[in-house]
Structure 1
Amino acid sequence: MTAAAAPKAQVPDVAGQITYAMRSMGVAPIPRNYELFYEAYIGSNPALTRDLAALGSQASQEELDALGAQHFTHSPARVLDDAHTRIAAELEGLLRVLRQEQTSLESYNKLLGETCKRINSKSAASLELIENAITILTEATGDTMAHGERTVENVAQRSQEMDRVRKELDEYKRIANTDSLTRLSNRRAFDDRLAAVFDNPALKPITALVLADIDNFKKINDTYGHPVGDKILATVASVIRANVRRDIFVARTGGEEFALIVDGNTPEEVMSMAERIRRTLEATPFKNSRTRVNYGPVTVSMGVCMASNADDPGELYYKTDIALYGAKNAGRNCCILYQDGMQKDFSKSWLIYKS
């Protein structure tokens, strides 16, 4: 074995251990919970580590959220609260401007009415009356137009500020919903999209969830190191994205797990797509162009389940996970469609997911 290919010291599979810890405690696999467990695991915040441990093995979601609010000052909720405060202030200012404009126009309208009455009156000399009316109307019109211009400018400025806040929120949402390594959607975005699958029951028979898990990924990380593992993750992500339609939702949902939500296809069509991804990855070279070290072959196991086989997002994910487990148990590098009656063999180690 060459020095370049020599196994490195084993590195803990952080993502796998965190996910396992969350599953063991019955904690929902949502981003804010993962963030808590990640920070506690790596020890960057000793106080958080102690506080999380103090919750024991049956922590409620309310307790976890309270812990997050205590230790994370830049949480999504705080960002949204700040944006809400800024928009509310701008809207209040805008209402004040519009109320002032309304008052100004009411005064101008009153002046027009009084001038009209004076012109219609026969008690004053016609020439003098008209001259005075013209002077009054000219000054009032000029003042009203100037006030209107200031109002327009003020409204425009406040509208620009609200648009800036909107763009900041859009950018924050984009960043918050994107996996930084693969540039795919992340678990937060996946959870939202998966929940939306059941918004239209008529589409369930032609909607599918696909889970793909890289085979032997822990061995790749242990042998070549995490930088190589990260490059492989990015390459797998690009291969998946390149082999599906642009409108298909693709996310990285875990350490080496990817998910696809496919709309408008039959089970046969979804399986054909999954097979295309699997075959393409199987044939993709994973080599270091400088050292010529071959990291491959890199393959994936895939589980597929149609939404019509589930009553809610949780059940759909669970049954797709069963199909993925079946693919792993069948020898990996294959795709399995969930069928009624499929069960996980819990006598086997969960570590099959990490191999």
Structure 2
Amino acid sequence: MSEQEFKRAFGYANTALDLLHRGRIPPYPQFYELLYTYATGANPQLNARINAIFQSGATPDHDLATKLYDEFLKAHDAHERLNSVSERMSHRIEAVHDAIDAALGNANSFSATLQSVTDGISDAISPEALREMAWQLLAETQRMQDTNHKLEQKLEAARDDLSALQRDLDEARKESMLDPLTKIFNRKCFDEGLTKAMAEAATYGEPLSLVMIDIDQFKQFNDTYGHQTGDQVLRLVAMTLKSNIKGKDLAARYGGEEFAAILPSTDYAAALHVAENVRKALQAKELLKRSTNEKLGRITASFGVASYRSGDTPSSLLERADRCLYAAKHSGRNCVVGEIGLAAPEHAEKRDPQEAA
């Protein structure tokens, strides 16, 4: 973990503990998780609910914290959907196995009947006995055909069901990797994507760059215009970032008002160009308050750019990009700072975890 990441996480922890103390909420793990999540701003719906409570003059207490935890953290829709799909798929597979077992049983019975008829045939057999064997064989054959037809129907239905379940499973997996507010990839997907991209860069010797983005003065903007407008800003930044990358590039919400872009097969100079394009595109957009069409001005962001080096870990690459980002914030904001030529890490150490973006 980088120094900046540590300081930021420690700031979130202090905020969570302060809220627990103010509400006289016991510091059980689930309540700490609830208020730590609130401090990071990673769950906009949770933040909107708690902010409304604060605005009413109330403070979350033990009972309310329990309800909020059950609603926002205990149950995750995407995970529940995955579990539901897995359970349905398991039941369908069991039904197919049962149908196949029944068909095998009937096949064995048919084979036994054939063997019995074969053993009963002799030169001295009477026409009546031969006719009886023929009728028996015909009946068994008809029963086998009926069984096979039913099996075909069950397998056809199972195939259709499994195809639908597979689609549901793919959709649920995709949803579990998306940030619910901005609809771009979430932190979990970012972490997995960065690890994968770095492994491929090391294996194939391809360039790889990372861009970290922080919305300027976001907390001040959020406090001034409200959280719904703040959410609109987050969606605007996400849309702008996503529309200015392509191919195997991955845009993600890193947390709160921070975003990131993983740029495989992109060298340092090209990554600086991408970041500058996103910065200009974002600055060119004028924000309107939807309810009144009031012009709220323009949103800007600061950018940090670093590129993969042999021997890098995800933490080391993130730390360099983070230092560049904080250098951009301390250089006046609304600019792109790359790691080449960056003087020293003092910029990052001046950054307070709870500093307004």
| Range of TM-score over shorter length | 0.7 to 0.9
The equivalent residue for 1:146 is 146
Q: Distance in 1 between matches of 2:13 and 2:355?
A: 15
The equivalent residue for 2:11 is 20
SS in 2 for 1:350: coil
The number of residues matched between the two structures is 318
Superposed displacement of residue 228, structure 1 = 2.3
The equivalent residue for 2:95 is 93
The equivalent residue for 1:122 is 123
1:147-183 per-position Cα deviation (integer Å, ceiling 9, x unaligned): 1222233334444554454444333333332223322
Verify the 8 A CA contact 1:320 1:338 in the aligned structure 2: yes
Residues 292, 109 of structure 1: CA spacing in aligned structure 2 closer, same or farther, 3 A cutoff?
Answer: closer
Supply the AA of the counterpart residue of 1:218: K
TM-score by length of 2: 0.73
Give 1:113's match in structure 2, choosing from 106, 115, 134: 115
Supply the AA of the counterpart residue of 2:298: P
Structure with bigger RCO (C-alpha 8 Å, 6+ apart): 2
Residues 165, 213 of structure 1: CA spacing in aligned structure 2 closer, same or farther, 3 A cutoff?
Answer: same
Residues 150, 209 of structure 1: CA spacing in aligned structure 2 closer, same or farther, 3 A cutoff?
Answer: same
SS in 1 for 2:181: coil
Verify the 8 A CA contact 2:85 2:169 in the aligned structure 1: yes
The equivalent residue for 2:256 is 255
Percent identical? 25
Of 314-323 and 339-348, deviating more is 339-348
The equivalent residue for 2:193 is 193
Superposed displacement of residue 24, structure 1 = 8.5
Verify the 8 A CA contact 1:212 1:301 in the aligned structure 2: yes
Supply the AA of the counterpart residue of 1:106: N
Q: Distance in 1 between matches of 2:271 and 2:353?
A: 27
The equivalent residue for 1:296 is 297
Matches within 5 A, 1:1-355: 20-22=11-13, 37-38=37-38, 42=50, 46=62, 72-74=74-76, 80-119=82-121, 121-125=122-126, 127-128=127-128, 130-200=130-200, 201-203=202-204, 205-288=206-289, 293-308=294-309, 311-339=312-340, 342-345=344-347, 347-350=349-352, 354-355=356-357
1:37-81 per-position Cα deviation (integer Å, ceiling 9, x unaligned): 33699376725959xxxxxxxxxxxxxxxx99xx71557666555
Residues 306, 34 of structure 1: CA spacing in aligned structure 2 closer, same or farther, 3 A cutoff?
Answer: farther
The equivalent residue for 2:55 is none
Superposed displacement of residue 265, structure 1 = 1.6
Verify the 8 A CA contact 2:198 2:208 in the aligned structure 1: no
Verify the 8 A CA contact 2:215 2:257 in the aligned structure 1: yes
The equivalent residue for 1:55 is none
Supply the AA of the counterpart residue of 2:149: E
Superposed displacement of residue 204, structure 1 = 6.2
Q: Distance in 1 between matches of 2:63 and 2:308?
A: 42
Supply the AA of the counterpart residue of 1:93: A
The equivalent residue for 1:61 is none
Q: Distance in 2 between matches of 1:161 and 1:269?
A: 46
Q: Distance in 2 between matches of 1:351 and 1:34?
A: 19
Verify the 8 A CA contact 1:211 1:324 in the aligned structure 2: yes
Residues 164, 263 of structure 1: CA spacing in aligned structure 2 closer, same or farther, 3 A cutoff?
Answer: same
TM-score by length of 1: 0.74
Structure 1: where are the runs of 5+ without partners? 1-16, 26-31, 51-66
Verify the 8 A CA contact 1:220 1:295 in the aligned structure 2: no
